Amino acid sequence: MNAPLKCWAAALVALSLSSVGWSASADQQKPKVTILATGGTIAGAAATGTQSGYTSGAVTIDAMLAAVPGIDKVATVKGEQVANVGSQDMSFDVLLKLAKRINEIAPGSDVNGIVITHGTDTMEESAYFLNLTVKTDKPVVMVGSMRPSTAVSADGPLNLYNAVGVAADPRAKGRGVMVVMNDQIHAAHSLTKTSTTAVETFMSPGRGLIGVASYGKNDFYSSPTWKHTTQSEFDISKVTKLPRVDIVFADVDMPADLIDASVAAGAKGIVIAGVGNGNMNKASVDAAAKAAKSGVIVVRSSRVPTGLVGRNVELDDDKLGFVASYELNPQKARVLLALALLQKRSLADIQKLYDLY
């Protein structure tokens, strides 16, 4: 081949490789993201695209990835199935397994970020649990969907694309566990599910978003100020079971014997999903004070979605022996208490945890 012809042939090869978006060095430089799948609606399937009934956790991670065109351009993605359940069936046993698996793979040079697919029902407490128990600065991103994979306008594929985009982004490092859905990036501490059906279900009412994610392009607004991941004191490496902590829901004329029943069933801690600023009726205050006296840790949280539950507001926590959950809703206050109870701590020390985490 003469010289000009050789040049042209080389240019043609380079052009055709770049037009399919691939080159050996670009492929090596691509971030590496591991997806740990646990089920949920994102892995859900229905018989038709418009039916509201479906089965959560029916589709495998490989099938989910196959439904996201272009994801391989964002990162080299590898999937692992850890569980396949609707998140109403998520358990501390699976969460412990998940946290341990993350702690095992995160240090590897073949992992730049981790994505966890998960149902939305209990995603907020799972995100918070992982936020306190995984020991890495690398991005850990949870993602789900509100519509099953078979639905008209399924939201899962784009959510997954954006989640991988955040996990692959070095700017996402050190922000704790995040949830990416509906183009939004939430911090584990502050997000909560607000709609049973809408795709914009997650909101962070007290603190706002930490960023946005759009077709793999991210913008970060802030970092959570609470302690998490590498700064967290909770070590679950040898933990196989969490102590029982119950949530008791307060409402008008609530029966106080719900608290007695919890204690009798062996709860080591009780979180009150209180009315208003963590309140409950007089009979329940008496039952909770009795429980606290017997050594059960009672944390007052609130069923109200925003605001703080402060100490000694309408109830004298100092006298009654209660803990105030500050900004944590009941489901997250329960997670923190279960982890706190893994070792002996004073009431004051437990109260301090609600300040820091």
Question: Which residue lies nearer to ligand ASP by CB, 87 or 262?
Answer: 87
Q: What would the two tokens of residue 276 be?
A: 């208003």
Crossing angle of helices 257-264 and 282-293, in 10° steps, is 20
The reply on whether position 146 binds ligand ASP by CB under 6 A is: yes
Residue 125 interacts with ligand ASP (CB under 6 A): yes or no: no
Is the Cβ–Cβ distance between 202 and 182 less than 8 Å? yes
Chain centroid, CA 252 distance in Å? 31
For residue 245, the one-letter residue type is: V
Chosen residue from 31, 58, 61, 86 binding ligand ASP by CB under 6 A: 86
Gyration radius from the chain CA atoms: 23
Stretch that binds ligand ASP, among 1-9, 46-54, 80-88, 230-238 (CB under 6 A): 80-88
Please provide the DSSP assignment of 161-227 as one string. HHHHHHHT-GGGTTS-EEEEETTEEEETTT-EE--SS-S--EE-TTT--SEEEETTEEEE-----S-
- The answer to the question of whether 214 is labelled as a binding residue is no
Residue nearest to ligand ASP (CB): 119
- Tokens 């706002």, residue? 208
Asked whether residue 87 is marked as a ligand-binding residue, the answer is: yes
Distance between CA atoms of residues 175 and 259, nearest Å: 37
Q: What is the DSSP letter of 76?
A: E
Contact assessment for residue 345 and residue 307, using Cβ atoms and an 8 Å cutoff = no
Calculate the CA 115 to chain-centre distance.
Answer: 10
Concatenated DSSP letters for 271-300? EEEEBTTTB--HHHHHHHHHHHHTT-EEEE
**Distance of closest approach, residue 158 Cβ to ligand ASP, in angstroms:** 15
Could you say which residues in the range 88-117 bind ligand ASP, by CB under 6 A? 88
Examine residue 164 and tell whether it contacts ligand ASP (CB under 6 A). no
The distance in angstroms from the start CA to the end CA of the chain is 69
Which of 34, 41, 136, 201 is an active site residue?
41
**Quick check: 325 binds ligand ASP (CB under 6 A)?**
no
Q: What angle in degrees, to the nearest 10, is found between the helix axes of 92-105 and 123-133? A: 50
Give the contact letters, 227-246, x = binds to ligand ASP (CB under 6 A), - = no.
--------------------
- The verdict on 148 binding ligand ASP (CB under 6 A) reads no
Q: Does 120 bind ligand ASP (CB under 6 A)?
A: yes
Q: Minimal distance in Å, beta carbon 145 to ligand ASP?
A: 6
Q: Does 40 bind ligand ASP (CB under 6 A)?
A: yes
Min dist CB 28 to ligand ASP, Å, is 35
48 is catalytic: no
294 labeled binding residue? no
Active-site residue (options: 34, 117, 120, 136)? 120
Interaction of residue 169 with ligand ASP, rule CB under 6 A: no
The DSSP bridge partners found for residue 302 are 274
Residue from 64, 75, 83, 87 in contact with ligand ASP (CB under 6 A) = 87
Task: Pick the closer one to ligand ASP by CB: 202 or 326.
Answer: 202
Contact pick of 34, 41, 159, 284 for ligand ASP (by CB under 6 A): 41
How many other C-beta atoms can be found within 10 angstroms of the C-beta atom of residue 119?
24
Nearest one of 181, 61, 80, 176 to 129, comparing CA atoms: 176
Q: Is 41 a catalytic residue?
A: yes
> Quick check: 56 binds ligand ASP (CB under 6 A)?
yes
| Residue 72 CB coordination number (10 Å) | 15
Which amino acids are annotated catalytic? 41, 120
Binding-site annotation: residue ranges: 87, 120-121
* Footprint on this chain of ligand ASP (rule: CB under 6 A): 40-41, 56, 86-88, 119-121, 144, 146
Binding site feature residues for substrate: 87, 120-121
